[in-house]
């Protein structure tokens, strides 16, 4: 198997090459194959019909960019051993292995207060046992325990290959050209200084472009108002189901992997929870929503039919909070229209804030290496465009109502 | 609503514009929205991870090409009334409305011996009633009853916008550049002669390219050996399920739309069957396969797990039939390995022919209009490349075995 | 000829269609064909080898975007008569007809203090005579005399099709992905309000992207330091030639169209000057530079050889002015190295400011139409990214020296 | 300089990396820079306005594909030493260094019966002297003297990177999508067997596509009838100039590099001829044609004006020879119209054959490596499409006439 090579067609980058037994093993693993059944962009396909690509596809893409980055750094004389080479690639292949059904949209809903990265790590440890420690270095890199910090930074930082791939890929599949970044140019500009990943000075315009593109993708795509409406609807469906099933009401049963989380799950993450979590994917929810569209609970049935047939909430999105009178007005209308009382109105009129909790921006540490050898954090650089992009608050208020 | 316009982002063509109430109505209809839940290329995504696009996306794309073609013909002075304009667009939006779960892969399996075009027509008639006859002209065009033959030919013929879109789109999402056609050039070359669609003489190289691209897509994609293996596995799963459920064995139940077809369906297509058919989509099968992967029937469980985790049949594909000795050898091995007897061996070793039944090629009537005003069928033209492409048999023998 | 149609392959947009006798006439005219011999981006090809596209190609591209824009506006119910339709297309085809050899690089050098738009207008008047007034409306639109202001704004304003094409095209041919704009989306967002061109509210992110892309193209391409160095060298060559020929020194003669401007031209623009100007294109300079690379004037010969063989000035580009000591140091070194005295040092060490005089940004009047019917100038909108992009000074100091 | 790296933006491939002193030296050489001033596709830009790319750009592109191919082979375990690595890259950078003004269009016209590859070799030897033998290995590879045949085959064979680049690049700049090949897939499929370059079996469809694309580029682009007409006109202009200058008539003088070939060149290639040849590029002809458009010879002036203003010959192109009557008729008409006698009619009515002498197809030795280890020449493989493409005669008769 040592010399086996496989190439995979990717519409975004052309061809992706796999050439190491450990990487083959990871990709063939049922936990990895599960990512085929999880949409990368949750319900965004209801607005962008092409956005049906999967978590598996994204993680293959990020792996491909990692291959390019590693080659580029080696070509510049940075030392990366064969073991590190395969470990950093294993780490990126597995970085999203802990994503659950409908990704970010249902994050913190199925397993409350458990972040997908913690789950990724737990699953890596599980696979590592099966593999007798072959993932030790990959895990050290993933958890930033490895001495060569830049390897971790390639997997997870402001300029990691994860972000470069998801911006590029999401832009490609949605057709939103505003999100295109010069990933190849950025990769050509990467280098290592004191074991940290830095960007050469002449790459600054590409970074500028990267930051602006990310901002645009938030507003045009990730937080597009109709996407927010669809995802709110999905969350409300799940809330209603939990509410109903808490009474032990078995009419919610799907006769599939979801039932455990409706009836048995008590919180926390142990061996059993992890096993059950890995049996769950988008299929279970998609099927359940079709099934519940015939349920006799009026709220559940109404929301499921609405999502199924794309009669989404009408939504308003704005920079200021909505005033109470306006919300009240919408609620009164909905109560009349749907003949529901106040206890259920949250399912028909729903307000909140769209904020990029989904994507980290808190620590914009992108380090620029100047020709004179000095290094500056990008947030300290005198570039008005970058400043605005970094500091501009990405938060809006929304109100959804069913009509 | 008369002036409402909507634009949809499409990664393939940029933007698709919808601007007529009838077209809005069709797109918003639950039957049309169902196409979101049917993969355009069935299980091809197991080989080409990007090929997860949907029937809905394809039919929007074909609609877009129809808009281009209609504009082009009008610009050349061909008369197309407003009513015909919207009707031919409605017809193309609906041309695939009768596709069932997993498209071609399960065609003739769920409803035996019913072609998806017959179902499309039945569903159109159903929608037409709701719409008080607004689809009359669209149906006349779809069924080739309409005097201006070229309108039907735009919807369904050797050079229809359906094929132009699926080649372009499938090529785009798989990343197989060999399938790229010059759809924009072909459309520029279309014109009408005696009410029939013809191609201007100088478009002949684009037609040549179109035919070669189609041929390449068959062998590299649609009949790619691993795709054939995956689809055989799906068909075998369904066969096994039918076999088991015929005994009234209720352990196959999915508690969803599929159950009707396992336990109640008696053949034919009546009002009820049509209703049930429209409730079914890929979700039902995907969910069922996950569920059946825990079933206690060894065959069913084995196949479902294999498909779920992408342990597909090993497959050989060749121009000659396999000889009996070789097949027997594989069967013996499988019987030993899986400890099954001869009555079940078909599920583990399976042979057949891959042939382009999925895509019509029988009647290559592409008419070329010469500058001198004469018209020739392309199959009578002295172009060796076109001849070979048209007449070359697209048939191979395959043998699948589980290992 | 009335029904003649011609399609032209364009790698950027696919196909460009010409379908009116007046437009055929313009394109076939020697003055228009002259634009084939003028590089769109002057000497930028010395940095970006793909940037060899021509003014003719750009004006065809801008014409294509005009066709899209006009169709879009008509589709939205804006009235544009057949006469206006062809006139606005003629205007955009001719908008750059007054560009001289090496475009912006030599602007104001050959004809001093004459802007290319004034020359475009003069040439349009000349063609209009030949055409017995068929360009009357086109000229009225070009000079903003036409009542429907939006037609002029399509030809010349902050969001005209000229800019949309040059950003798109220059980005395409240089391969600088940072300059990609969503021209198709911007065009879909255009509409007309009180006879003025406005952008629909939901187009605001595309405008944001457009402004950022333009900014990036300035710094990465148009004012790229090596491009500035090359264009300074060209200007210095021309200065030296003028200096030498002013003495009546006939050794500068090229025996071509350039000679008039070296020996006879006295300033101003009359019939004769215009005729001579139209005989001049990049060819004359390229040939002359090869010829002068053998001239016996040391300065001229050195600069011509340097440009010919791409031994360009070393250049520094920065936000602050260079201090006199540093400039002096470079001058001393150059005087020693090239054995020239102070009177000639300007040809070897040359400082100045790179500023976007080449491209207008002064009046950022892009009007946004809100859903409530109000219109706001984009510079008054509360969008930090747009503000910065508009107000950020685009000016740097440079110093060039030959080594 | 050892660690210097430079990246060049290429719209076709993204970025091209140069990272060796020898390669920097070659690229900076005036002989290499001369290739900037030679159009890759001669006069094809008169039909395809985007086709203005240069020989320099093509050879950089071929170099980039060589980098990919070398990496791929190394990754498969093929031994390529550091010296061979840089030599094969030097060889491909220099493979077209012997191209003269207007490339193929004027080949065999300026230096009669001297092929551009012979000139490339002569120039390489010249540079090799300057470089004290640093090009020895590159020259051995170029001339197929080097033991590892596959290195030569990468530079020059049916599947060399030269062809892969020119098809890809010419298709890109013309916008003719029919010429797109899967160069990246072909490169992934290359390997070495007994020191010869072979293609893995599963690459056969990509080869099929490559051959069909090349065929399409011949007919749609390289031998497009209007391109043939333009190039005939250029050849006729040069013929007329030679005819006139042979009499010692100094009115043809351009006062540039061309004059040597009009008045002094006696045939053959010696040191001096080579030096003069390297001073000549497209600029000299473009300038001369402008100049001669005012010459007092009626034939010369007419042809030069026609080419300058794109009033090209009307041309017919067909599979059969034209009959004498038809030719005679055209000649009579032209003699009357232009008032010229029979001795000059060849300049106004001109017939010939368009044949792909420009591009080698004689020996279609593409070797396929089968999984069982056997190797077959592609022309012996039972694939009807490939057979037709290889054997189909690429020859047509044309007749040009000025109207």
Contacts of C28 in chain D (CB under 8 A): 309-310
Contacts of C3 in chain B (CB under 8 A): 77
Contacts of B9 in chain A (CB under 8 A): 48-50, 174-176
Percent of chain B residues topping a pLDDT of 90: 76
Helix (H) or strand (E) holding D68: helix D55-75
Of residues B114 and A143, more confidence is placed in: A143
Q: Is the dihedral of CA A232, A238, A241, A245 positive or negative?
A: negative
Closest chain B C-alpha to C89 CA, distance in angstroms = 17
> Measured between alpha carbons, how far is D94 from D82 in angstroms, rounded to an integer?
19
| Antiparallel, parallel or unpaired: β C349-355 and C395-401 | antiparallel
Closest chain A C-alpha to C176 CA, distance in angstroms = 8
SS3 A148: coil
For residues C355-371, average pLDDT: 67
What are the residue ranges in chain A where pLDDT is below 70? 1-3, 356-364, 382-394
> pLDDT tens across C27-43, in order?
999 999 999 999 999 99
> pLDDT tens across A122-166, in order?
999 999 999 999 999 999 999 999 999 999 999 999 889 999 999
pLDDT surpasses 60 at C161: yes
pLDDT surpasses 70 at D362: no
For residues D22-46, average pLDDT: 97
Closest CA to A207 of A394, A383, A392, A393: A383
> Measured between alpha carbons, how far is C42 from C229 in angstroms, rounded to an integer?
12
Residue A220 in contact with partner chain C when CB distance is under 8 A: yes
Closest CA to B161 of B184, B194, B131: B184
Chains that touch B (3 or more CB pairs under 8 A): A, C, D
- Burial class for B260, CB neighbours closer than 10 Å (0-12, 13-18, 19+): middle
For residues C281-292, average pLDDT: 97
Chains that touch C (3 or more CB pairs under 8 A): A, B, D
Residue A394 in contact with partner chain C when CB distance is under 8 A: no
Closest CA to B9 of C57, B17, B1, C105: B17
What are the CA-CA distances from residue D158 to residues B213, D104, D164 (Å)? 22, 19, 10
Of residues C246 and B92, more confidence is placed in: B92
Q: What is the pLDDT of residue A387?
A: 64
B319 within 8 A of B397, measured Cβ to Cβ = yes
pLDDT surpasses 50 at C357: no
Q: Residues of B120-139 as b/e, b for ≥16 C-beta within 10 angstroms?
A: bbbbbebbbeebeebbebbb
> pLDDT tens across D147-176, in order?
999 999 999 998 899 999 999 999 999 999
Q: Across all residues in chain D, what is the average pLDDT?
A: 92
- Give residues with Cβ within 8 angstroms of A199, minimum separation 6: A159, A186, A189, A190, A191, A207, A366, A367, A368, A369
The count of C-alpha atoms lying within 13 angstroms of the C-alpha of C229, restricted to the half-sphere facing its C-beta, is: 23
User: Does the beta-carbon distance from A188 to D7 stay under 8 Å?
Assistant: yes
What are the CA-CA distances from residue B105 to residues B143, B230, B256, B278, B289 (Å)? 25, 9, 21, 17, 15
- The ipTM, to two decimals, is 0.94
pLDDT band at C1 (very low <50, low <70, confident <90, very high): very low
The count of C-alpha atoms lying within 13 angstroms of the C-alpha of B213, restricted to the half-sphere facing its C-beta, is: 33
User: Does the beta-carbon distance from D75 to A3 stay under 8 Å?
Assistant: no
What are the CA-CA distances from residue C41 to residues B208, B399, C221, D61 (Å)? 37, 60, 10, 21
Taking residue B305's Cβ as centre, other Cβ atoms within 10 Å add up to 17
Q: What is the pLDDT of residue B1?
A: 33
Q: Across all residues in chain C, what is the average pLDDT?
A: 92
> pLDDT tens across D235-260, in order?
999 999 999 998 788 999 999 999 99
> Measured between alpha carbons, how far is A70 from C77 in angstroms, rounded to an integer?
55
Q: What is the pLDDT of residue C103?
A: 83
Q: What is the DSSP letter of D222?
A: I
Residue B384: which of D180, D208, D388 has the nearest Cβ? Answer: D388
> pLDDT tens across C235-248, in order?
999 999 999 998 78
Contacts of A185 in chain D (CB under 8 A): 15
- Would residue C373 be called left, alpha or beta, if left means φ above 0 and alpha means ψ between -120 and 50 degrees? left
- Burial class for D342, CB neighbours closer than 10 Å (0-12, 13-18, 19+): exposed
Closest chain D C-alpha to C193 CA, distance in angstroms = 37
The three-point CA angle B318-B323-B327 to 5° equals: 95
- Give residues with Cβ within 8 angstroms of D168, minimum separation 6: D12, D61, D179, D180, D181, D183
Taking the CA atoms of residue B218, residue B221, residue B222 and residue B223 in that order, the dihedral angle to the nearest 10 degrees is: 80
Residue B17 in contact with partner chain C when CB distance is under 8 A: yes
Q: Across all residues in chain B, what is the average pLDDT?
A: 92
| Antiparallel, parallel or unpaired: β A367-369 and A196-200 | parallel
Closest CA to A204 of A361, A388, A377: A377
Q: What is the pLDDT of residue C219?
A: 85
Q: Give phi and psi for D393, each to the nearest 5.
A: -70, 130
pLDDT band at C215 (very low <50, low <70, confident <90, very high): confident
> pLDDT tens across B208-261, in order?
889 889 888 988 999 999 999 999 999 999 999 999 998 788 999 999 999 999
Lowest mean pLDDT among A173-182, A301-310, D20-29, D351-360: D351-360
- Within C48-102, where are the H helices? 55-75, 82-94
Residue corresponding to tokens 């013809």: B198
D217 within 8 A of D179, measured Cβ to Cβ = yes
Of residues C200 and A1, more confidence is placed in: C200
Token pair, residue A85, equals 């080479």
Taking residue D115's Cβ as centre, other Cβ atoms within 10 Å add up to 12
- Find, in chain A, the residue whose alpha carbon is nearest to that of B51: A53
> Measured between alpha carbons, how far is D108 from A385 in angstroms, rounded to an integer?
56
A167 within 8 A of A210, measured Cβ to Cβ = yes
Percent of chain C residues topping a pLDDT of 90: 76
The count of C-alpha atoms lying within 13 angstroms of the C-alpha of A175, restricted to the half-sphere facing its C-beta, is: 22
pLDDT surpasses 90 at D112: no
The three-point CA angle A209-A212-A217 to 5° equals: 120
Going from the N-terminus, what domains does chain A have, and what CATH number goes with each?
Answer: 6-206 (1.10.3210.10)
Taking residue C190's Cβ as centre, other Cβ atoms within 10 Å add up to 23
> pLDDT tens across D391-401, in order?
666 678 999 99
Q: What is the pLDDT of residue C211?
A: 86
Q: What is the pLDDT of residue D246?
A: 85
User: Does the beta-carbon distance from D11 to C310 stay under 8 Å?
Assistant: no
Q: What is the DSSP letter of C101?
A: T
3-state DSSP of A250-319:
HHHCCCCCHHHHHHHCCCCCCHHHHHHHCCCCHHHHHHHHHHHCCCCCHHHHHHHHHHHCCCCCEEEEEC
D57 within 8 A of D40, measured Cβ to Cβ = yes
- Burial class for B249, CB neighbours closer than 10 Å (0-12, 13-18, 19+): middle
Size of interface C-D (CB pairs under 8 A): 107
Residue A202 in contact with partner chain D when CB distance is under 8 A: no
Q: What is the pLDDT of residue A359?
A: 41
pLDDT band at C358 (very low <50, low <70, confident <90, very high): very low
pLDDT surpasses 50 at C17: yes
B124 within 8 A of B94, measured Cβ to Cβ = yes
């Amino acid at each position: 198997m040592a010399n086996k090579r496989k190439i995979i067609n990717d519409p975004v980058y052309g061809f992706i090459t796999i050439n190491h037994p450990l990487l083959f093993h990871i990709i063939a693993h049922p936990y990895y194959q599960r990512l085929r059944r999880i949409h990368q962009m949750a319900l965004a396909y209801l607005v962008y019909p092409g956005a049906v690509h999967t978590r598996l596809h994204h993680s293959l893409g990020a792996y491909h960019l990692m291959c390019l980055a590693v080659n580029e750094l080696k070509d510049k004389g940075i030392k990366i051993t064969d073991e590190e080479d395969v470990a950093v690639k294993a780490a990126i292949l597995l970085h999203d292995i802990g994503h659950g059904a409908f990704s970010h949209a249902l994050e913190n809903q199925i397993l409350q207060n458990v972040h997908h990265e913690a789950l990724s790590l737990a699953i890596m440890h599980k696979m590592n046992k099966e593999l007798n420690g072959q993932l030790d270095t990959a895990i050290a890199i993933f958890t930033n325990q490895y001495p060569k910090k830049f390897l971790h930074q390639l997997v997870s930082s402001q300029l990691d290959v994860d972000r470069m791939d998801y911006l590029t890929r999401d832009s490609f599949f949605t057709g939103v050209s505003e999100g295109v970044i010069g990933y190849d140019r950025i990769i050509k500009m990467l280098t290592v200084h004191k074991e940290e990943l830095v960007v050469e000075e002449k790459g600054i315009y590409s970074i500028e472009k990267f930051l602006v593109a990310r901002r645009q993708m938030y507003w045009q795509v990730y937080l597009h108002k109709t996407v927010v409406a669809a995802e709110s609807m999905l969350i409300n469906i799940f809330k209603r189901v939990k509410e109903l099933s808490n009474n032990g009401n078995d009419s919610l049963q799907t006769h599939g992997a979801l039932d455990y989380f409706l009836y048995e799950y008590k919180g926390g993450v142990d061996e059993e929870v992890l096993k059950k979590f890995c049996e769950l994917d988008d299929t279970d929810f998609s099927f359940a929503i079709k099934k519940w569209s015939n349920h006799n609970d009026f709220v559940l049935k109404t929301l499921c039919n609405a999502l199924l047939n794309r009669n989404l909430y009408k939504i308003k999105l704005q920079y200021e909070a909505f005033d109470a009178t306006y919300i009240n007005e919408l609620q009164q209308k909905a109560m009349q229209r749907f003949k529901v009382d106040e206890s259920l109105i949250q399912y028909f009129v729903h307000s909140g804030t769209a904020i990029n909790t989904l994507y980290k921006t808190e620590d914009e540490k992108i380090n620029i290496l100047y020709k004179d050898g000095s290094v500056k954090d990008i947030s300290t650089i005198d570039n008005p465009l970058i400043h605005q992009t970094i500091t501009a608050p990405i938060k809006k208020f929304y109100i959804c109502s069913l009509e």
